[in-house]
Amino acid sequence: MFLFYDAIDALFVFMQKGGDVLYLIAFLAFFIILF
**Could you report the per-residue pLDDT of 1-35, keeping only the tens digit for each?**
566 778 778 777 776 776 677 777 888 888 888 77
- Give residue 21's pLDDT: 76
Strands (E), the chain: none
pLDDT at 33: 85
Distance from the Cα of residue 10 to its chain's centroid: 7
Q: How far apart are the C-alpha atoms of 34 and 7, rounded to whole Å? A: 12
Q: What is the pLDDT of residues 2-11, one digit of tens each?
A: 667 787 787 7
pLDDT value for 2: 63
| Dist. CA 29–CA 10, nearest whole Å | 14
